[in-house]
């Protein structure tokens, strides 16, 4: 048996692309691990002030779901860079991300409370 035939195929989650009015594209993964779902629920139910909890929960979803974000033609795909770019996003960009996460969660994870 050839060595390559014994390798397992790496599974990858489906992705969805969302465009903002300026043509920037946010690509989100269509799966979320049970651990990430629990962590998300724990943040919302935890002892943080409501606004802090929503912001942290939104950031967690972004961190776990964002695969790529193309802004002004520059594609960002590394997780650390994606999170850093999200943290320095303008209010309009954050609104786009938040609205996109809500739409994506409603379609792919209807059991989650939307951010």
The model's pLDDT over 8-41, given as tens digits with 9 standing for 90+, comes to 566 677 999 999 999 999 999 999 999 999 999 8
Band of pLDDT at residue 1, cut at 50, 70 and 90: very low
d(CA 28, CA 97): 10
Q: Where are the domains of the chain?
A: 17-107
What strands, in cross-sheet order, belong to the sheet with 25-29?
Answer: 15-19, 25-29, 66-71, 74-76
Arithmetic mean of pLDDT over the chain: 89
Q: Per-residue pLDDT averaged across 65-80, rounded?
A: 97
45 pLDDT higher than 90 = no
Q: What is the pTM of this model?
A: 0.84
Place of tokens 């690509």: 27
Identify which has the larger pLDDT, 78 or 52: 78
């Amino acid at each position: 048996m050839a060595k390559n035939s014994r390798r397992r195929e790496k599974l990858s989650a489906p992705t969805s692309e969302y465009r903002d009015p300026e043509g920037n594209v946010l690509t989100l993964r269509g799966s979320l691990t049970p651990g990430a779902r629990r962590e998300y629920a724990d943040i919302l139910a935890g002892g943080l002030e409501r606004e802090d909890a929503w912001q942290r929960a939104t950031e967690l979803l972004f961190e776990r779901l964002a695969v790529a974000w193309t802004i002004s033609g520059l594609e960002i795909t590394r997780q650390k860079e994606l999170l850093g770019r999200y943290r320095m996003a303008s209010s309009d960009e954050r609104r786009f991300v938040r609205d996109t996460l809500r739409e994506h969660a409603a379609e792919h994870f209807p059991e989650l409370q939307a951010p």
